Amino acid sequence: MASLLQPDRVLYLVHGEKKIRSPLSTLYFCRYCSELRSLECVSHEVDSHYCPSCLENMPSAEAKLKKNRCANCFDCPCCMHTLSTRATNIPAPLPDDPSKTTMKKAYYLACGFCRWTSRDVGMADKSVASGGWQEPDNPHTQRINKLIEYYQQLAQREKLERDRKKLARRRPYMPLAFSEKYGLGTRLQRQRPGAPITSLAGLSLKEGEDQKEINIEPAQALDEVEPLPEDCYTRPINLPEVTSLRQRLLQPDFQPAGASQLHPKHKHLLIKRSLRCRKCEHNLSKPEFNPTSIKFKIQLVAECQVLLTLTNPVENITHVTLVGCEEGDPEDINSTAKVMVPTKELVLAGKDAAADYDELAEPQDFQDDPDVVAFRKSNKIGFFIKVVPQREEDGDVTVSFKIRHDFRNLAAPIRPSEEGDAPTEAIWLTHHVELSLGPIIA
């Protein structure tokens, strides 16, 4: 399938906020709006959190508490691979009889990729396989927490002021609780793209709670700075000991300069996201809740609905007309060749999964003009187009044209139709397609 091996050869134009050209395999099709959607014109929402190594699901509240980190798994501070726990037998004296020694299991963390072990940074072996490993504490945690509380309170106060002003202007009878409960969280008040997202605003105090006055001391500026060590310029550098920038910045609390202070951090969680059409607010893609499952509850991919070149994915007979782009077409910016497409309407049979196995099937009875149609096989058709390259330079030949086909919306919402006509009506959809044919051979 060309869509798997050479994805960029055929590009479809998506009419969204921006005009985006991308291959069909990356597009979604909203069947309520009957339009193509690309990843940039849908809204992405977080569905669930999971750890990529232990595949454990984590509810969002717990994820926020743990700062989006898994409780059991660690990352190697050297190469960011997942650490595995290894066991050794060490002789340890029995508690009853100090003279005898028995073999006890000791666990340490080791990386299979760069061979880093927890013994490299001086972390002692633990006697339990999991749960014994702690991340070192940040000495500034207390100050940071106090600052966060103070600013949360400030944000809360400012929001109250803003709401009071708005309500005083418009609806004086609306209770004050309304704006707080229905604050950020519903789609109506969703953050617009570009506005700064304040994570503090979500954590608001409940109504009725006493608001303590929190005072913070401003940070004090010091005149004296710790001087550099005297042998800073003369000491030879021990290269294996110096941490790389990436290793340093992955631990923003400490940012150690020496590799012997690189402690492992808990593994970051990944998310499953769901996509939603911005115009009609219907879900285009919703993944399964279980982290081990890669299927989707809802997946409206464009390849299932929109015509691929030459192949008809739906089960009805489809009529396709190809129209060349006219001169001065505003969407036709990339083509370097003129194309003459067949003017007649092409008819594609429906997709029939059992047709391959049914030997007694009647042959399809379409009268094909041999100049236009090269071959026809079940739901595929090959047709001729003439291409005249416009430029002589060695570039890729790109042609663009419009495909116009009929589409039956099988899953349209049930509306009581006044005319009582057939439930599936055909809609004519037009797509602008760009086809990259490859370089010119002299």
Query: Closer to other proteins at the Cβ: 24 or 259?
Result: 259
> At closest approach, how far in Å is the CB of 371 from other proteins?
53
Query: Closer to other proteins at the Cβ: 115 or 386?
Result: 115
> At closest approach, how far in Å is the CB of 52 from other proteins?
19
- DSSP-assigned states of every residue in 294-350: --EEEE-BHHHHSPBTTB--SSS-EEEEEEEPPTT-TT--S--EEEE---SPEEEPP
* 219 φψ region: left (φ > 0), alpha (ψ -120 to 50), beta (else): beta
Query: Closer to other proteins at the Cβ: 119 or 166?
Result: 119
Contact 239, 223 (CB under 8 A): no
> At closest approach, how far in Å is the CB of 240 from other proteins?
4
Contact 252, 141 (CB under 8 A): no
Beta carbons within 10 angstroms of residue 219's beta carbon: 8
* 204 φψ region: left (φ > 0), alpha (ψ -120 to 50), beta (else): beta
Q: Let me know if 379 is exposed, middle or buried by CB neighbors in 10 A (0-12, 13-18, 19+).
A: buried
Query: Closer to other proteins at the Cβ: 78 or 277?
Result: 78
Contact 159, 204 (CB under 8 A): yes
**How many whole angstroms separate alpha carbon 374 and alpha carbon 300?**
32
Tell how strand 346-348 and strand 426-439 pair up.
unpaired
**How many whole angstroms separate alpha carbon 314 and alpha carbon 426?**
13
Query: Closer to other proteins at the Cβ: 90 or 427?
Result: 90
Query: Closer to other proteins at the Cβ: 77 or 291?
Result: 77
> At closest approach, how far in Å is the CB of 103 from other proteins?
17
Q: Which residues of 126-165 are buried (b: 16+ CB within 10 A; e: fewer)?
A: beeeeeebeeeeeeeeeeeeeeeeeebbebbeebeeebee
> At closest approach, how far in Å is the CB of 69 from other proteins?
24
Query: Closer to other proteins at the Cβ: 225 or 239?
Result: 239
**Binding residues for other proteins (CB under 8 A):** 78-79, 113-117, 119-120, 240, 259
> At closest approach, how far in Å is the CB of 120 from other proteins?
5
> At closest approach, how far in Å is the CB of 108 from other proteins?
10
Query: Closer to other proteins at the Cβ: 78 or 433?
Result: 78
Q: Let me know if 283 is exposed, middle or buried by CB neighbors in 10 A (0-12, 13-18, 19+).
A: middle
Read off the tokens for 258: 């020496």
Query: Closer to other proteins at the Cβ: 113 or 182?
Result: 113
**How many whole angstroms separate alpha carbon 242 and alpha carbon 239?**
5
